[in-house]
Amino acid sequence: MYSVNQRFDNQDIPEDELLTSGNLACAGCGASLSMRLALKGLGKPTTLTVPACCWTIIPGAFPRSIMEVPFFNCAFETAASTAAGIKAAYRKRGMDDICVVAWAGDGGTLDIGIQALSGAAERNDDIIYICYDNEAYMNTGIQRSSATPLGSWTTTTPVKNPKSEPKKDIDEIMIAHRIPYLATATAAFPHDMIAKFKKARSIKGTRFIHLFSSCPTGWRMPENLSIEVMRLAVLSNIFPLYEVEGGEVYRQTFVPDEIVPVNEYMHLQGRFRHLTEEDIKAYQKAVDKRYETLKERFAKGKENTAI
């Protein structure tokens, strides 16, 4: 059976590092590990464009950088359109083999960058768009975003007035664009994540990867729980791991042997500490409901694959 503290074998994880040491992330930052693994899956040649977010800071201040691939800082709302523009310029120069990646936070994706993202997806621009989702605007001091879960504390949704809206379902929004490839992933399942980045690279058109990315600072938890919390999000079905091809064929890439109650995930994080038993029950109900819907799609996906 799969355990929360399971150690993964390094076998099959590419040894090449496209990040050097000395990044400026907080200790235990899920986003920094996510980039490291993503680049192992993508390999070279790859060019990144990154809007305002923690990842603008993490590589270090000019002229120093931990990045071994080109990294272009763009305006907050423009990740997808900047990536599409870079790709068009490369194509014009006969450099179509370069994989262009937009790497943005949840605020930069679900909120301010959604117009550019929707436009790129509708045109099926040949880019990979990654949303690393730490469920708030962390870089500016933990403000709520539309990815912040229902009931969560942030500095703009304080304990006396926690977030009253559920998390926006960006995956279903992107699937509705019928893009060639969408995947959910987390660095706590490194093999699954790297395989999805390799697959995304091999496909043409708009590919979207939603990374669940722990933030010990904003989630109010010790940094050594970072991996455990990301795993519990998967094992509790809060963040199921799956992929969708052509906006139609769903495939679950990891099926937990045993579903963990959401409380086991929530009680490790200070941002949920104020929630009552009733609140947690309601949260569990919402997670179960969403998973039931997904399960039907996974079953249908299996039928489609069998044809």
Ligand X SMILES: Cc1ncc(C[n+]2csc(CCOP(=O)(O)OP(=O)(O)O)c2C)c(N)n1
- Take residue 191 and report the two structure tokens written for it: 């093999």
* Residues 63-92: x where in contact with ligand X by CB under 6 A, - otherwise, as a string: -------------x----------------
Tell me which stretch binds ligand SF4 (CB under 6 A): 3-11, 21-29, 91-99, 177-185. 21-29
Q: Which of 62, 12, 42 is closest to 103 using CA atoms?
A: 42
Q: What is the DSSP letter of 173?
A: H
Q: Is 225 in the site for ligand SF4 (CB under 6 A)?
A: no
- Least distance from ligand X to the Cβ atom of residue 104, Å: 6
Binding ligand SF4 by CB under 6 A: which of 29, 127, 128, 294? 29
Say if strands 249-252 and 71-73 run parallel, antiparallel, or are unpaired: unpaired
Tell me which stretch binds Mg ion (CB under 5 A): 4-12, 37-45, 97-105, 148-156. 97-105
Binding Mg ion by CB under 5 A: which of 82, 134, 217, 226? 134
- Between 109 and 237, CB nearer to Mg ion: 109
Binding ligand X by CB under 6 A: which of 23, 134, 184, 269? 134
Q: Is 105 in the site for ligand X (CB under 6 A)?
A: yes
Q: Which residues 6+ apart lie within 8 Å of 2 measured at CB?
A: 235, 256, 257
* Residues 98-117: x where in contact with Mg ion by CB under 5 A, - otherwise, as a string: -------xx-----------
Q: Is 30 in the site for Mg ion (CB under 5 A)?
A: no
Q: Is 26 in the site for ligand SF4 (CB under 6 A)?
A: yes
Q: Is 31 in the site for ligand SF4 (CB under 6 A)?
A: yes
CA distance to 126, 174, 208, 270, 278, per residue, from 116 (Å): 14, 12, 13, 34, 39
Q: Which does 52 bind (CB under 5 to 8 A by kind): ligand SF4, Mg ion, ligand X, none?
A: ligand X
Q: Which of 232, 224, 250 is closest to 303 using CA atoms?
A: 250
- Between 119 and 205, CB nearer to ligand X: 119
* Residues 32-71: x where in contact with ligand SF4 by CB under 6 A, - otherwise, as a string: ----------------------x-----------------
CA distance to 11, 253, 265, 284, per residue, from 259 (Å): 27, 15, 12, 11
Site for ligand SF4 in 109-138 (CB under 6 A): 134, 138
Q: State how far the Cα of 133 lies from the Cα of 127, in Å rounded to an integer.
A: 19
Q: Which residues 6+ apart lie within 8 Å of 220 measured at CB?
A: 153, 269, 270, 271, 273
DSSP string for residues in 247-295: TTEEEES---SSPPPHHHHHTT-GGGTT--HHHHHHHHHHHHHHHHHHH
Count of residues touching ligand SF4 (by CB under 6 A): 12
Assess contact for 73 and 50: CB atoms under 8 A.
Answer: yes
Binding ligand X by CB under 6 A: which of 52, 175, 185, 188? 52
- Take residue 290 and report the two structure tokens written for it: 């969403």
Q: What is the DSSP letter of 225?
A: G
Name the residue whose CB lies closest to Mg ion. Answer: 105
Q: Which does 29 bind (CB under 5 to 8 A by kind): Mg ion, ligand SF4, ligand X, none?
A: ligand SF4
Q: Which residues 6+ apart lie within 8 Å of 300 measured at CB?
A: 250
* Helix (H) or strand (E) segment spanning residue 100: strand 99-105
Q: Is 108 in the site for ligand X (CB under 6 A)?
A: yes
Instruction: By CB under 6 A, name the binding residues for ligand X.
Output: 52-54, 76, 104-108, 134, 137-140, 145
Instruction: By CB under 6 A, name the binding residues for ligand SF4.
Output: 25-26, 29, 31, 54, 134, 138-139, 215-218
